[in-house]
Amino acid sequence: MTYVIALPCVDVKDRACVDECPVDCIYEGNRSLYIQPDECVDCGACEPVCPVEAIFYEDDLPDQWADYYKANVEFFDDLGSPGGAAKMGVIDKDHPLIEALPPQNTGE
């Protein structure tokens, strides 16, 4: 099982969750962050600090954001398990689901 980052993170990316993760498994793409499902230890530390409530335990993901499970998993299809986000910096891509979104959270 894993935690998942859903739509509310897109174009927000304040990285509050990154500081809480004991295993450094929250990776940054261009428009969203993504949790590496094999590295996540399900500790739950990231979930309450997200200011936009974007983080959910896999089983608690709201139906309308069910696809974000796949988005988090598939983001790592070519990356595998890098073993730590800090050394990766911003990864120059997003999952196609997120790439296709219009600008989010513009405050309008």
Chain residues binding ligand SF4 by CB under 6 A are 3, 5, 9, 12-17, 20-21, 23, 25-26, 33, 35, 40-46, 49-50, 52, 54-55
Nearest distance from C-beta of residue 71 to ligand SF4, angstroms: 13
- Partners of 34 in the beta sheet? 27
CA 21 to chain centre: 12
Within 10 angstroms of residue 21's Cβ, the number of other Cβ atoms is 19
Between CA 73 and CA 59 the distance in angstroms is 15
Q: Which is nearer to ligand SF4, 19 or 66 (CB)?
A: 19
Let me know: does 28 contact 74? Beta carbons within 8 Å: no
Q: Which is nearer to ligand SF4, 96 or 105 (CB)?
A: 105
Q: Which is nearer to ligand SF4, 44 or 96 (CB)?
A: 44
Nearest distance from C-beta of residue 91 to ligand SF4, angstroms: 14
Give me the residue label for tokens 């450094």: 24
